[in-house]
Structure 1
Amino acid sequence: MSTATTVSDRTPVPQLNGRLTAARLPRWAPAGVAVLSIALGCGIGAGAGLASHIQWGLIAALLFVALSFSLSAKVEGVRQAKDRLATSLIWVAFILAVVPLISLLVYTVQQGAGVVDGNFLSHSMRGVLQSGPGGGIYHALLGTLQQVGLATAIAAPIGLLTAVYLVEYGRGRLAKAVTFFVDVMTGVPSIVAGLFILSVWNLGLGFDYSGFSGSLALSILMMPVVVRSTEEMLRLVPNELREASYALGVPKWKTIMRVVIPTAIGGITTGVMLAVARITGETAPVMMLVFVSDSINPDPFNGPQMNLPVYIWQQYTQVNNSFGYARAWGAALVLIAFVMALNLVARGIARWRSPKTGH
């Protein structure tokens, strides 16, 4: 009979002297470093006689990165200091990107808010001196809505069907060629699209200047954006949904119409809205194909028509004309508000149509 012997480990456990965790900077340290950097940047800029506040801000940004790294290296160690350095650079890049946008928006509101009223939105420039007061943007706003609406009616269906082909049917050389040309069209300058429509539609087929001519050029610029965004949304639809539909005996075309597109409709709508916002501010093709008009032209298929970007350019080119400058900034404010509204609508639709989770 064997006897089991229990041996206890009597090796003494070493006592840890000091803290179990590494030293950390307090949570308010980045904010404190930022305030200190701004103060030092302003002091250095003022002391050096730098007149531009942009230079002061760049000095403060460099000081923020350097002080954050130095303080973290001294307290937390080099490894954590590298993480702080990367975080500081990201914050500086974010601020450098946001500050010009906010400055542009604030300046536009300051310059244009005093002009935008009911009269400005409901009157045209017919019978109004370019160098005098009065006038409005109704004709340009109407032209913008019609031209962008026609371009969307042309580009959205074609872009959607092209994306469906690439995702659901596209195989071989044809699909690769379509993908290649879509990528090329994404980088085509707007003036090239205008020249193409001018050569084919106006000079080749003999059509006159009209809002529809401009819509054709805008649709060329809009189409690759719609194709790319729709393609990505369709690829995000799980294949299990398609397979379940096929298992029930549903044809492929009906599966695409009833399952795939409804599932991705939120992202598709968002992509279309963003494409609309992208073409709303185009100026060159509209100047070439639509021409300009000071009167209201509700027919986009006949005669010249005004557009908000072209209106802004026309008013701002009036040398030493304070009334023209004011109208230009007012039209710019309306244009920014229109594009912002489109983006908000796109976000709202995406959130509304996004898959809901919960019990």
Structure 2
Amino acid sequence: MTVIEADMNRKPDVPSLDHSFSDPRALRNTIQTVLLWIVALLASVPLFSVLYMLITRGGARLGWEAITALPPAGLEMGGGFGNAIVGTVVMVGIGALISVPLGVLGGLLLGAIAPSSRMSDAVRFVAKVLTGFPSILAGVFVYAWLVLGMGTYSAFAGGVALAVRMIPTVMLTAEQAVRMVPQRMKDAAFGMGCTQTQVALRVTLPTAMPGVLTGVMLAVAGAAGESAPLLFTALFSNYWIGSLTEPTASLSILIYNFSGMPFPNQIELAWAASLVLVLIVLVFNILSRLIGARRV
């Protein structure tokens, strides 16, 4: 066999893909992975502890009567919080009707129509400030502006207070969703002769809709658990809602009221209402994740 044939038959040196735990990089990676798992488990302990307590204590009282009956009197047994569920849905719905159009249009302004204008910079700055704004101040603002003007607490005032809290979340999320739309789609629409407004409404917004809906779901979930704004605007009621211009019950305020009472029946209902409120928020968060998974 010649030297050339020997070289042709020789197997090439293939690096081994097996790694040893004694290798510094592999050891460092393993330690960091273990530490991350430990931190994640420790962070989940409070969450699962709260859920366990709500399920064990609130689930025992949760039933058809609890979600359909009116709140009981002091020493009365039974009852429920059906009016609080209806009131929460109504006020969150009012807040969504106000905040979603304004937030989506604001997101289009910030992300597509005039992203670098002075007005957009000012609106963006105000929206970011409002995201960290104490929720009770939103209630005080609506109280001074609307409750005193109407002369009564009302579901409408509560919905407006929730809208103040929801608009920044919807607007900033819509802006980010609009910015993620591929530029080539916008350029193609401009090349076909579309105006900037047509591109924003007929191309950018439909494409960014999954991200916009994610922001809407997150805003709705956050508004459903608000209590401070409703203390100054909707107050509370032991009866079914009959008009948008009268005091209205909500789950968060019912929990606040009943948890401080010395009656076991009301405390049990507070636990059950807490479980229902957590389930509502959980459903909207899951919906936001599912919708966000479809984002372009």
**Deviation string for 1:191-219 (max 9, x for gaps)?**
1111111112223x344210111111111
**Deviation string for 1:126-153 (max 9, x for gaps)?**
xx32333211111100100000000011
Instruction: Give distance in 2, aligned partners of 1:229 and 1:354.
Output: 12
Of 315, 334, 353 in structure 1, the residue corresponding to residue 258 of structure 2 is: 315
Match of 1:122 in 2: 68
Q: Given the alignment of the two structures, is residue 299 of structure 1 paired with residue 243 of structure 2, yes or no?
A: yes
Instruction: Give distance in 1, aligned partners of 2:94 and 2:52.
Output: 32
Could you tell me whether the CA contact under 8 Å between 2:108 and 2:178 is conserved in 1? yes
Q: Given the alignment of the two structures, is residue 108 of structure 1 paired with residue 51 of structure 2, yes or no?
A: no
Query: Counterpart of 2:239 in 1: which secondary structure?
Result: coil
Match of 1:265 in 2: 209
Match of 2:187 in 1: 243
The Cα of 1:22 is off from its aligned counterpart by 6.8
Instruction: Give distance in 2, aligned partners of 1:23 and 1:143.
Output: 61
Match of 2:10 in 1: none
Match of 1:153 in 2: 97
In the superposition, the TM-score normalised over structure 2's length comes to 0.90
Match of 1:280 in 2: 224
Match of 1:36 in 2: none
Of 65, 75, 83 in structure 2, the residue corresponding to residue 139 of structure 1 is: 83
Could you tell me whether the CA contact under 8 Å between 1:267 and 1:350 is conserved in 2? yes
Q: Given the alignment of the two structures, is residue 333 of structure 1 paired with residue 275 of structure 2, yes or no?
A: yes
Mapping of residues 152-171 of structure 1, within 5 Å: 152-170=96-114, 171=116
The Cα of 1:21 is off from its aligned counterpart by 6.6
**Percent pairwise identity:** 31
Q: Given the alignment of the two structures, is residue 182 of structure 1 paired with residue 124 of structure 2, yes or no?
A: no
The Cα of 1:174 is off from its aligned counterpart by 1.8
Supply the AA of the counterpart residue of 1:227.
M
Instruction: Give distance in 1, aligned partners of 2:180 and 2:30.
Output: 35
Instruction: Give distance in 2, aligned partners of 1:207 and 1:97.
Output: 46
Match of 1:191 in 2: 136
Instruction: Give distance in 1, aligned partners of 2:195 and 2:24.
Output: 61
Instruction: Give distance in 1, aligned partners of 2:200 and 2:151.
Output: 38
**Deviation string for 1:328-352 (max 9, x for gaps)?**
011011111111121223333344x
**Deviation string for 1:6-60 (max 9, x for gaps)?**
99xx9xxxxx9xx967763xxxxxxxxxxxxxxxxxxxxxxxxxxxxxxxxxxxx
Match of 1:96 in 2: 42
**Deviation string for 1:70-104 (max 9, x for gaps)?**
xxxxx514433222222122111211222221221
Change (3 A) 1:250 1:194: same
Higher relative contact order (CA 8 A, sep 6+): 2
Instruction: Give distance in 1, aligned partners of 2:255 and 2:64.
Output: 18
Could you tell me which runs of 5 or more consecutive residues in structure 2 were left unpaired when the two chains were aligned.
8-12
In the superposition, the TM-score normalised over structure 1's length comes to 0.75
**Deviation string for 1:136-179 (max 9, x for gaps)?**
11110010000000001111111111111111222332221111
Match of 1:68 in 2: none
The Cα of 1:226 is off from its aligned counterpart by 0.6
Query: Counterpart of 2:123 in 1: which secondary structure?
Result: helix
Instruction: Give distance in 2, aligned partners of 1:338 and 1:103.
Output: 18
Instruction: Give distance in 2, aligned partners of 1:21 and 1:248.
Output: 53
The Cα of 1:354 is off from its aligned counterpart by 4.2
Could you tell me whether the CA contact under 8 Å between 1:163 and 1:227 is conserved in 2? yes
Supply the AA of the counterpart residue of 2:182.
P
The Cα of 1:116 is off from its aligned counterpart by 1.4
Instruction: Give distance in 1, aligned partners of 2:94 and 2:124.
Output: 25
Instruction: Give distance in 2, aligned partners of 1:295 and 1:261.
Output: 41
**Deviation string for 1:279-314 (max 9, x for gaps)?**
1111111111111111111322x2111000001111
Match of 1:53 in 2: none
Instruction: Give distance in 1, aligned partners of 2:138 and 2:248.
Output: 19
The alignment's C-alpha RMSD in Å is 2.4
The Cα of 1:251 is off from its aligned counterpart by 2.2
